[in-house]
Amino acid sequence: MKKNDKNKDLSENKPKKGFLKKIFKGKEEQKKVLNIVKNKKINNLYFYTDVNNILLILERGIRLLKDQKLKKDEEYIVWTYLENENSIGLEFDSSTRAHFWKWASESKVDIEKISVIGVDPHKLAKLTKNDWALDEVKNIVYIYETIPLEVIDFILIKDKANLKRIQTYVEANDIDIDVFFGETGNIDKKKERK
């Protein structure tokens, strides 16, 4: 790794790999993340978003900002903490999430509007084509493509007004995702699937 590479902003710049590295060390960062997941017994990677974005995510997956194509009446609220033009940031579920809550309080985000999406890292590895990047300082995994709906395990909603609407949408469309209310922001154990 070149000296300058450590100072690159991984949220906007996908790490460059030479031809030989692409062939012999494909998805090297993804493997590193999966080893951390295994060693630290991590179940999910977390994505935080505004509750008003959930229906669009349920229709299209979690998209890069550059790939968001909205209709005239649609709105997608961007939080620059994890959503960027070229990447989607995910935190480990073992993280204290101090970065997120610090950012949320500094940005004066309405905490009731925060939804937490749990992403299964193993399914994500199977369904993504590009390598990931790991920012070990911020404890964030950067994904450089759309995160498919199939990898989402659960959605925690702190806003009761939107909870029933989203639960109804998930049930009506037979989507295999747990949707639950989380007043304290704590993530409950997932219910067993049949």
Q: Which amino acid is at 55?
A: L
> What is the pLDDT at residue 46?
93
Rg (CA), the chain: 17
pLDDT tens string 86-130: 999 999 987 656 666 677 778 777 877 888 999 999 999 999 999
CA 171 to chain centre: 22
> What is the pLDDT at residue 23?
47
Burial of 124 (0-12, 13-18, 19+ CB in 10 A): buried
pLDDT band (50, 70, 90) for residue 56: very high
| Six-digit token string for 65 | 């900002």
Report the distance separating Cα 77 and Cα 4, nearest Å. Answer: 33
Report the distance separating Cα 169 and Cα 165, nearest Å. Answer: 6
| Six-digit token string for 11 | 């949220």
104 or 175: which leads in pLDDT: 175
pLDDT tens string 66-79: 888 888 888 888 87
Report the distance separating Cα 56 and Cα 63, nearest Å. Answer: 10
Residue 101 host element (H or E):
helix 98-106
Question: Is pLDDT of 145 > 60?
Answer: yes
Average pLDDT, the chain: 82
> What is the pLDDT at residue 129?
93
What are 89's strand-pairing partners?
142
Question: Is pLDDT of 21 > 80?
Answer: no
Q: Which domains, ranges and CATH numbers included, belong to the chain? A: 25-181 (3.20.170.30)
Report the distance separating Cα 103 and Cα 81, nearest Å. Answer: 7
Whole-prediction pTM value? 0.82
173 conformational bin, left if phi > 0, alpha if psi -120 to 50, beta if neither? alpha
